[in-house]
């Protein structure tokens, strides 16, 4: 047997085509290079980041203004959830709040005014890099002070406030962008730096390049985390709904619209509940949309999905009385729209403003046209050169009604 096995020819090893292997390696290296270029050389979705800044700043400003009459009952030193109880909870959870640094009512009013001012400045994009950090501290402090009164909208807004600290959300549609534009137009975009700026540019070129690289990478990673957070939120919500029997048989929304805690308009909730076919279809569509969003982000099908999600959140805001949660989700969905969409939207807005400023863009009516005297012919241009006499004679014959010379 050993001799027979030794006499058998060895089985040929599988051969690989070096051309195919090399092409696959080049393709993988090209994809990695493109990913590295996208991550390190150009900040992506600057307009989307600005929309997130404006949206969350406006939402939190409106939230603070809405709760202004009830601020002492929710966050004040004399609230039912006393500072001592909040401090005991902080020892267990590790949270902290600037509102607990003092029990003075004057200090609380100062903090509340600071929160209003911070939200407004963050929304407008004034010193955005610093204001984003202050805004995150404000949101975290108010969230932790009355953590038992928060909902999903507060939690999402807190996460987004922290994520936006790492993004360049002040590059577009902000006071910072306007200041940079005015400074560039005043100094001249092509003029070389002079004085101390020229010395700094010669002495520290690598420091500037490293700073740009760090800002770009942090911005792109921050936006990626925001998009991943939204996908995780929708995906987990859809999967949890699939496991429930009420969502499987289409009766979940019937119980939702009959909860007294989420019925700001009882008559409207009753009217919706009577349309049982609509309630069942809306329940199935909700689950389908939440599960589908993470899988359609890189295709054109994401646009109708985002539109339907917008309608879903508007319905939640009206039927369930959760405007802050719905607004936070609508703003978060804006991260998936490309910059060309926002540029086109801004251009349409500028055209509409110019049309209104120029008189409303109204086309002339027949009554306006009747006021214009009839024109017998177009004005001929003044001829120059040796053809002047011929052109003048032709114009005279046409005016007199004679046929033109051939």
For 301-334, write each residue's pLDDT tens digit.
Answer: 999 999 999 999 999 999 999 999 999 999 999 9
Confidence band (pLDDT; 50, 70, 90) for 398? Answer: very low
Cα separation, 396 vs 285, in Å, equals 76
Model confidence at 361: pLDDT above 80: no
Q: Give percent of the chain above pLDDT 70.
A: 78
- The length of the chain in residues reads 406
In this prediction, residue 211 carries a pLDDT of: 86
Confidence of residue 196 (pLDDT cuts 50, 70, 90): very low
The 10 Å CB-count burial string (b at 16+, else e) for 170-192 is: bbbbbebbeeeeeeeeeeeeeee
At residue 115, the pLDDT reads 97
280-288 mean pLDDT: 95
Model confidence over 132-142: pLDDT tens digits? 999 999 999 99
Residue 18 pLDDT class (50, 70, 90 cuts) = low
- The sign of the torsion formed by the CA atoms of 367, 373, 375, 378 equals negative
Q: Is the pLDDT of residue 297 over 50?
A: yes
pLDDT in the model for residue 406: 40
Helices 205-243 + 276-292 axis angle, to 10 = 140
pLDDT at site 134? 97
Q: Is the pLDDT of residue 194 over 50?
A: no
Average pLDDT value for residue range 93-122: 95
Separation of alpha carbons 44 and 41, rounded Å? 10
Number of Cα atoms under 13 Å in the Cβ half of residue 245: 0
- Who has greater pLDDT, 375 or 225? 225
């Amino acid at each position: 047997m050993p001799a027979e096995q030794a006499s058998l020819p060895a089985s040929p090893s599988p051969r690989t085509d070096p051309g195919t292997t090399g092409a696959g390696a080049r393709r993988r290296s090209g994809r990695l290079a493109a990913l590295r270029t996208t991550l390190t050389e150009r900040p992506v979705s600057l307009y989307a980041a600005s929309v997130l800044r404006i949206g969350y700043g406006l939402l939190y400003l409106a939230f603070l203004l809405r709760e202004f009459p009830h601020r002492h009952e929710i966050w004040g030193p004399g609230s039912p959830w006393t500072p001592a109880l909040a401090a005991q909870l902080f020892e267990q959870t590790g949270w902290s709040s600037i509102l607990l640094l003092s029990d003075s009512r004057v200090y609380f009013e100062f903090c509340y005014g600071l929160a209003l001012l911070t939200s407004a400045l963050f929304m407008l994009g004034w010193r955005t890099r610093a204001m984003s950090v202050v805004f995150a501290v404000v949101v975290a402090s108010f969230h932790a002070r009355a953590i038992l009164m928060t909902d999903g909208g507060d939690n999402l807004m807190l996460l987004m406030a922290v994520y936006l600290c790492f993004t360049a959300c002040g590059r577009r549609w902000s006071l910072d962008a306007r200041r940079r534009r005015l400074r560039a137009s005043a100094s001249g975009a092509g003029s070389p730096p002079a004085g101390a700026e020229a010395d700094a540019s010669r002495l520290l070129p690598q420091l500037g390049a490293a700073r740009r690289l760090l800002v770009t990478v942090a911005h792109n990673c921050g936006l990626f985390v925001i998009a991943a957070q939204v996908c995780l939120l929708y995906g987990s919500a859809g999967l949890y709904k699939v496991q429930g029997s009420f969502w499987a048989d289409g009766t979940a929304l019937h119980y939702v619209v009959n909860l007294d805690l989420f019925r700001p308009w009882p008559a409207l909730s009753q009217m919706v509940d009577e349309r049982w076919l609509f309630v069942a279809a809306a329940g199935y569509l909700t689950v389908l949309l939440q599960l589908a969003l993470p899988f359609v982000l890189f295709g054109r099908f994401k646009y109708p999905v985002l539109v339907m999600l917008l309608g879903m959140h508007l319905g939640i805001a009206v039927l369930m009385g959760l405007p802050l949660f719905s607004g936070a989700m609508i703003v978060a969905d804006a991260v998936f729209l490309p910059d060309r969409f926002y540029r086109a939207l801004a251009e349409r807005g500028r055209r509409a403003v110019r049309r209104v400023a120029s008189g409303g863009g109204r086309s002339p009516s027949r009554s306006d046209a009747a006021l214009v005297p009839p024109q017998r012919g177009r004005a001929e241009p003044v001829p120059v050169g040796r053809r002047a006499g011929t052109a003048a004679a032709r114009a005279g014959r046409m005016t007199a009604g004679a046929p033109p010379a051939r």
